[in-house]
């Protein structure tokens, strides 16, 4: 009869350890499950995901239930182990038995199940939700009392349990990290595009615009034959029309419209040219790209002239320029790279001083600083605080630079040689 009694006690002890493992793994899986994947699966009507979402909607009630069950079975296991010890070896064996039971519960009831649950939260949380859901109703009176006592104690310390610290939404930086860490779940090309979209708010039209010195436009004071030659050779479909200088803008011309005029006559007049121009669209210099993209969509316009706070034209930006920030280069105009950046046989590059730092970094995969000056000429002038003479050498970060040509108060061309990172040092001139 005693043997049967002992077997029953050992069976109860084993059951308590199993239940301890259940509650421990349930707690870890519920707390570590990916909430955004869970939300997606719940929207897809996954039954387990729906139950887990319902349980997590009341975290204090869920934790109260799990901790109540876990402590109940652990205390019960200790009591059963004490009875078994007294029957087998008497009172002198209680301390060794307690140490053994502590190790068994830690390994089999806590550490091992929690580790498995942390590694595979969905596999644990979804099936366990079918058990925890009815338990939450069955043990609700006990859990309610425990939560009221705990919340009352927290309020004594000034902690408001009814006001969560956040709504669980991701910030832009957090979302950017999620995209970067997505791994093979999102193709690399798509990840780059998503990151580029998130980065639009950190880039302004000034960073991507065509500088005023490089704008191709039509001066209405030029002879008609010269204007026709410019239209014939232009790679752009929309050109600004101005008088004397780019600040005196008359309008924007679509090449297709002037071709319609020429289809009826051999030559056109200034009045013909003005008649087919449309009102120019101006963009403030510091407008963020995501705002400008939306403005282009609202206005149904593809080209804007960038102006500073004084109303002076500083450059030109197009819808395509913004889209290329997201998807990368997709135009057929390959001349920009050829004109501004010239690779040399020794591994260096001869680069035009007017080239923008963003374009250089993008084309050559470099990391020239872009938090200040926008062009290579501006970067060198900013670092040296003077206009350098040809032959002047300097180092900026991991790049050795030599001014090969300077004129008209600006650096015209620079030879840049990438250095190994351990060769880099602060800026120095010679």
Q: What is the CATH number of the domain that holds 246?
A: 3.10.580.10
* Residue 399: partners with Cβ closer than 8 Å, 6 or more residues away: 366, 368, 416, 417, 418, 419
3-state secondary structure of 306: strand
Of the residues 156, 185, 211, which one is the last residue of a structural domain?
A: 156
Are residue 87 and residue 218 in the same domain, yes or no?
no
Checking DSSP bridges between strand 303-307 and strand 410-418, what pairing results, if any? unpaired
- The answer to whether position 312 is within a domain reads no
- What is the C-alpha radius of gyration for the chain, rounded to an integer number of angstroms? 36
Per-residue model confidence (pLDDT) at position 154: 77
The answer to whether the CB of 141 falls within 8 A of the CB of 52 is no
Are residue 339 and residue 291 in the same domain, yes or no?
no
Domain residues for the domain of 418 are 335-423
Residues in the chain: 430
Are residue 239 and residue 127 in the same domain, yes or no?
no
- The answer to whether position 16 is within a domain reads yes
Q: What is the pLDDT of residues 121-149, one digit of tens each?
A: 999 999 999 999 998 888 888 888 887 88
- The answer to whether position 250 is within a domain reads yes
Are residue 50 and residue 141 in the same domain, yes or no?
yes
Checking DSSP bridges between strand 399-407 and strand 393-396, what pairing results, if any? antiparallel
pLDDT band at 234; cut points 50, 70, 90 = confident
- CA 188 centroid distance within chain: 13
Q: Which helix (H) or strand (E) segment is 349 a member of?
A: strand 349-352
- The answer to whether position 117 is within a domain reads yes
Are residue 27 and residue 149 in the same domain, yes or no?
yes
Per-residue model confidence (pLDDT) at position 240: 92
Average pLDDT on 77-104 reads 79
Cα separation of the two ends of the chain: 99
Two tokens, residue 247: 């600040």
Nearest to 201 by CA among 288, 73, 300, 80: 288
Per-residue model confidence (pLDDT) at position 282: 94
Average pLDDT on 54-70 reads 87
Q: Which has more confidence, 167 or 290? A: 290
Are residue 134 and residue 14 in the same domain, yes or no?
yes
Distance CA 244, CA 230 (A): 16
Distance CA 225, CA 227 (A): 5
Are residue 145 and residue 205 in the same domain, yes or no?
no
Average pLDDT on 67-94 reads 82
Of the residues 246, 279, 297, which one is the last residue of a structural domain?
A: 297
Are residue 74 and residue 126 in the same domain, yes or no?
yes
Are residue 216 and residue 152 in the same domain, yes or no?
no
Per-residue model confidence (pLDDT) at position 177: 80
Average pLDDT on 250-261 reads 80
CATH number at residue 399: 3.30.465.10
Are residue 126 and residue 222 in the same domain, yes or no?
no
Average pLDDT on 195-221 reads 85
Q: What is the pLDDT of residues 23-55, one digit of tens each?
A: 999 999 998 898 888 888 888 889 989 999 988
* Residue 112: partners with Cβ closer than 8 Å, 6 or more residues away: 21
Look over the chain and give the mean of its residue pLDDT values, rounded to a whole number: 83
Per-residue model confidence (pLDDT) at position 336: 46
Of the residues 297, 325, 345, which one is the last residue of a structural domain?
A: 297
Q: What is the pLDDT of residues 319-368, one digit of tens each?
A: 988 888 888 766 544 444 456 889 988 889 999 988 888 888 888 888 88
- The answer to whether position 163 is within a domain reads no
Are residue 131 and residue 69 in the same domain, yes or no?
yes
Q: pLDDT > 70: what percent of the chain?
A: 89
- The answer to whether position 56 is within a domain reads yes
Number of domains in the chain: 3
């Amino acid at each position: 009869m005693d043997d049967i009694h002992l077997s029953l006690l050992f069976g109860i002890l084993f059951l308590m350890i199993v239940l301890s493992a259940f509650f421990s793994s349930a707690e870890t899986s519920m707390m570590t499950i990916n909430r955004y994947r869970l939300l997606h699966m719940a929207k897809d009507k996954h039954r387990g995901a729906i139950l887990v979402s319902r349980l997590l909607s009341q975290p204090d009630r869920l934790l109260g239930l799990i901790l109540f069950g876990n402590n109940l079975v652990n205390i019960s296991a200790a009591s059963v182990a004490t009875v078994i010890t007294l029957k087998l070896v008497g009172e002198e064996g209680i301390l060794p038995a307690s140490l053994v039971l502590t190790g068994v519960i830690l390994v089999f009831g806590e550490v091992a199940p929690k580790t498995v649950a942390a590694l595979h939260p969905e596999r644990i949380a979804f099936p366990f939700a079918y058990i925890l859901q009815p338990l939450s109703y069955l043990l609700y009176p006990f859990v309610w009392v425990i939560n009221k006592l705990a919340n009352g104690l927290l309020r004594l310390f000034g902690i408001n349990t009814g006001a969560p610290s956040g709504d669980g939404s991701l910030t832009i930086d957090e979302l950017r990290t999620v995209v970067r860490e997505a791994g093979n779940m999102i193709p690399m090309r798509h990840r780059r595009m998503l990151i580029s979209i998130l980065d639009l708010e950190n880039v302004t039209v000034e960073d991507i615009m065509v500088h005023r010195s490089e704008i191709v436009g039509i001066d209405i004071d030029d002879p008609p034959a010269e204007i026709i030659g410019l239209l014939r050779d232009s790679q752009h479909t929309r050109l600004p029309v101005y008088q004397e200088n780019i600040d005196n803008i008359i309008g924007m011309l679509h090449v297709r419209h002037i071709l319609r005029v020429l289809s009826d006559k051999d030559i056109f007049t200034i009045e013909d040219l003005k008649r087919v121009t449309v009102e120019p669209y101006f963009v403030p210099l510091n407008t963020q790209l995501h705002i400008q993209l939306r403005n282009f969509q609202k206005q149904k316009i593809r080209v804007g002239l960038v102006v500073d706070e004084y109303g002076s034209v500083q450059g030109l930006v197009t819808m395509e320029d913004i889209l290329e920030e997201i998807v990368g280069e997709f135009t057929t105009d390959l001349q920009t790279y050829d004109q501004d950046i010239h690779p040399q046989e020794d591994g260096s590059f001869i680069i035009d001083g007017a080239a923008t730092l963003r374009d250089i970094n993008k084309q050559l995969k470099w990391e020239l600083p872009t938090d200040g000056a926008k062009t290579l000429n501006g970067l060198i002038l900013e670092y040296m605080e003077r206009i350098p003479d040809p032959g002047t050498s300097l180092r900026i970060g991991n790049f050795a630079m030599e001014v090969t040509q300077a004129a008209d108060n600006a650096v015209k061309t620079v030879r840049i040689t990438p250095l190994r990172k351990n060769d880099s040092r602060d800026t120095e001139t010679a």
